[in-house]
Amino acid sequence: MRNLKTIKCEKGKSSTAWQKIKPTSKVIKNWILAVIASKFQSNTKIWFYKKIGLKIGKNVQIMPDQRIDIFFPELISVGDNSIIGQDCFFACHEFNVDEFKYGPIEIGENVLIGARCYILPGIKVGNNSLVGAGAVISKDVPENVIAFGNPIQFIDKTTKEKILLKSEKKK
């Protein structure tokens, strides 16, 4: 279950709801620093990302063209020894017709997020997991799994067996 906060809005007005909790000047500053950071190598990029609020552990590698949420970068954390692939998008918010939702993205330790993944708000990726390139991470990823696809699926790294979550077993 995704960890989200919701702000109810008038229909068609959700794209401005973030202004109720975040000053526009802060978002503009975050956007400028995020664009600059996306073009640098990992160490310089991490320095910029930390300046706008990301929590980044030790020995983290972030590949080029990473996209991070400019509204809520402080809700993103990446654990030690993790690798974020090229051209990933971390979205800590989503606009719906009559509501605005936002929540943290937590990447555990020793995690590999493959290139061009899209991570939705309120998601936790467990320690020692691998997420295949192009995956849409729409639900929490357990520890020690290989996650892939859209809709996302999981394979136990040890047994190589497919994992069904509790919500999937009931169907």
Condensed to tens digits (0 to 9), the pLDDT of residues 5-24 reads 999 999 988 999 999 999 99
Between these two residues, 4 and 164, which has the higher pLDDT value? 4
Helix axes 24-38, 42-51, angle to 10 degrees: 170
**Phi and psi torsions of 23, nearest 5°:** -70, 140
Query: Residue 110 burial (CB < 10 Å; 0-12/13-18/19+)?
Result: middle
Q: Is 93 among the residues known to form the active site?
A: yes
Q: Say if residues 66 and 88 touch (Cβ distance below 8 Å).
A: yes
Render pLDDT for 130-155 as a digit per residue (tens, 0 to 9).
999 999 999 999 999 999 999 999 99
Grade residue 43 by pLDDT with cuts at 50, 70 and 90.
Answer: confident
Q: Give the CATH number, domain containing residue 127.
A: 2.160.10.10
**Phi and psi torsions of 84, nearest 5°:** -110, 120
Grade residue 39 by pLDDT with cuts at 50, 70 and 90.
Answer: confident
Render pLDDT for 54-111 as a digit per residue (tens, 0 to 9).
999 999 999 988 889 999 999 999 999 999 999 999 999 999 999 999 999 999 999 9
Query: Domain total for the chain?
Result: 1
Distance of CA 90 to the CA centre of its chain: 4
Residue-level pLDDT at 166? 65
Please give the model's pTM, rounded to 2 decimal places: 0.91
Active-site entry in 93, 101, 124, 139: 93
Query: Token pair of 113, please?
Result: 């997020």
Please list the alpha-helical segments (H only) found in the chain. Answer: 24-38, 42-51, 166-169
For the CA atoms of 36, 74, 123, 113, the dihedral, rounded to the nearest 10 degrees, stands at 30
Q: Which residues form the domain of 12?
A: 5-169
CA proximity to 104, closest of 61, 68, 58: 68
DSSP state of 170: T
Grade residue 171 by pLDDT with cuts at 50, 70 and 90.
Answer: low
